Amino acid sequence: MVVNTEIAGIAMGDAHPVRIMGAINLSSESFYKGSVTGPEHVIATAKRMVTEGADLLDVGARSTWPLADKITKEEERRRLILALELLVDNVNVPISVDTQFADLARESLELGAHIINDVSGLTTDPAMVEVASEFGCPIVVMASENIPGDPLGMDAVMRSLDGIIRKSEDAGISPDKIIIDPSIGKWLPEKAPMYDFETLDQLERLKVFQKPVLVAISRKSFIGDLLNKPATERLMGSIAATAIAVYKGAHIIRTHDVADTADAVRVAEAIRGRNVSAEYSGYSIEALDVVNTEDAPGYFARIGVTGTGARVMKDKTVLRVLRINNVTTTEALIIKQEALSRGCDAALPRDAVSHETENTDLIVMGTELQLKRLASKLDGQARNLPIISGLIISTLQRFRDTDYRYG
């Protein structure tokens, strides 16, 4: 579904350019020392980022790196307020404040900040949701359940964001003021790189929420773990991941490296193209990008389909095309016959249909529900068809096997 909204005066969504959020890091405890900005350089850094293409600025004074030395809230306040006092009247782009504490968010908004960026997804300070509702400001909420960034895998990210969105909207935050962040990065020790690979590869799943998607990739540890490089040497890895995030549907990219990132964003969004839709005389049609059947009930719910109906229909929403190799011609013909009787189909070469070859390959196509029913039928057949049945089921399961695909 198409995202089209306005955040702090900036149009955002599928029909608008991907926006760049320049990260101004005031925390000397951060893992990437090259990103740290001292108070004497805040204005110069901000103006440089805007010149390089930043549409927004995100100011943070507390490192969210799990291994960083901890600081007091008072120290965070001192750094944050000093920077905001310098920035508010010296830059002409919206300012986001990166904090997990409601009182700091309130003070920042009163000073002139426009957006709250809460990496705890409203879990650290319950009063944060009240501040966002009271000020009517946009808020970035990161996928979190108990502590910042703790969901492991895209299914957990989806469940977490679904709960946070419901909580936010129930508390009075306007639906068009919510920005979602899928929590890229090693937020806890057990979060292996494969979880970030999966999230980026399946980022289009977030479209079901109809919210702007913010992705923060800049020089994070999953890149370092893969390339075995320190933060100072992860720019090219960040650029590659950023391009994929944009191609998969990100609307905002948060980065320390604005100029290089902006180039990657522009190229990736040009290649991505636009969402497929058509309109005429008050009618419209849009193509939905459902890649995981577990997301389908979310799409159904948004048009009022009952929960029971959604559960019945969800396995019909994703088409799979499978090539089955080296079966006998007789087995191939049985598979095609059983496929057709279950609403799917199979493509065979002509010499297999005419029994002019002993073994053949075939291509089977159908929804996940149809293919599961086909596998169930083949499991009770003779020859080696029960083996083919097991392979079909294994293949379908591996679409959702994080360790198999990304580990």
Kindly state the helix (H) or strand (E) to which residue 326 belongs, with its residue range: strand 319-328
User: At which residue do the structure tokens 């089977």 appear?
Assistant: 364
219 catalytic, yes or no?
no
Q: Pull the structure tokens for residue 254.
A: 């948060």
pTM of the predicted protein model: 0.93
How close are the terminal C-alpha atoms of the chain, in Å?
31
CATH among 3.40.50.2000, 3.20.20.20, 3.30.70.20, 3.40.50.150 for 4-275: 3.20.20.20
CA distance 3 to 148: 26
159 catalytic, yes or no?
no
Find the catalytic residue in 62, 219, 234, 254: 254
Amino acid at 376: S
CA distance 215 to 289: 19
Find the catalytic residue in 186, 219, 220, 373: 220
CA distance 161 to 139: 13
Q: Write out pLDDT tens, residues 159-196.
A: 999 999 999 999 999 999 999 999 999 999 999 999 99
- Domain borders along the chain are 4-275, 283-314, 318-406
- Cα angle 133, 138, 142; round to 5: 100
Kindly state the helix (H) or strand (E) to which residue 60 belongs, with its residue range: strand 56-60
Contact, 150 vs 188, CB < 8 A? yes
318-406 carries CATH number 3.30.1370: yes
Contacts of 308 by beta carbon, 8 Å cutoff, 6+ apart: none
pLDDT tens digits for the chain (407 residues)?
A: 689 999 999 999 999 999 999 999 998 887 777 888 888 999 999 999 999 999 999 999 988 877 788 889 999 999 999 999 999 999 999 999 999 999 999 999 999 999 999 999 999 999 999 999 999 999 999 999 999 999 999 999 999 999 999 999 999 999 999 999 999 999 999 999 999 999 999 999 999 999 999 999 999 999 999 999 999 999 999 999 999 999 999 999 999 999 999 999 999 999 999 889 999 999 999 999 899 999 999 999 999 999 888 988 999 999 999 999 999 999 999 999 999 999 999 999 999 888 888 999 999 999 999 999 999 999 999 999 999 999 999 999 999 999 999 99
